[in-house]
Amino acid sequence: MSYRKGNKQECDVCDTDVHFVLVTQSHNKPSTKCERGWQQHRGVCYLFSTNGMSWKNSRYFCQRQGGDLVKINSREEQSFLEYQLRNEMNFDDDKFWIGLTDSEQEGRWLWMDGSELDTSLAFWSRREPDDWKAKGSDGEDCASMGERAGAEDLKCWFDRPCYMDQSIISEKPA
């Protein structure tokens, strides 16, 4: 980084280069509202954890960090998260738990705060949710997201068995 030499008439008793640096740093210092490891976006702190856990354990993990699994409230937030996950995913099958489940009633998707999914803000991938039942499985009752190559029209949500180990997106207010 290069600095312009300050005007000595502005400050007769201080080193003008230092004065300029201090002013520049105080005005351009990034916000530190989120803890280390968390990423801030529009007043929310996000933590992307690639530690694989079940949906229930992921939610517990987020709560221990002072947040919860992410609740997606807008197309803009979905766009931000979808883009961020591209950098976090190593393989096409890497997915991240979000705070959405239909475990209480099949087909009735609720966020972990109890609010119902607004269908105008649903970003299900093609043919999802499908509640696929693997051998010995009760079906797919928890939602994850991620599309390593990018998602068409942001549609990258998948229903998955809640016991699967997936990465995690936690959120909390900044």
Angle at 53 between CA 49 and CA 58, to 5 degrees: 70
Domain match, 108 and 122 both:
yes
For the entire predicted model, the pTM comes to 0.79
Domain match, 75 and 110 both:
yes
Number of domains in the chain: 2
Instruction: Provide the domain limits for residue 68.
Output: 32-173
Residues 6+ apart with CB under 8 A from 45: 33, 34, 35, 38, 39, 67, 171, 172, 173, 174
Domain match, 22 and 39 both:
no
Residue 154's SS3 state is helix
pLDDT tens digits for the chain (174 residues)?
333 333 333 333 333 332 222 222 333 444 568 999 999 999 999 999 999 999 999 999 999 999 999 999 999 999 999 999 998 998 888 999 999 999 999 999 999 999 999 999 999 999 999 988 876 667 899 999 999 998 999 999 999 999 999 999 999 999
Domain match, 18 and 41 both:
no
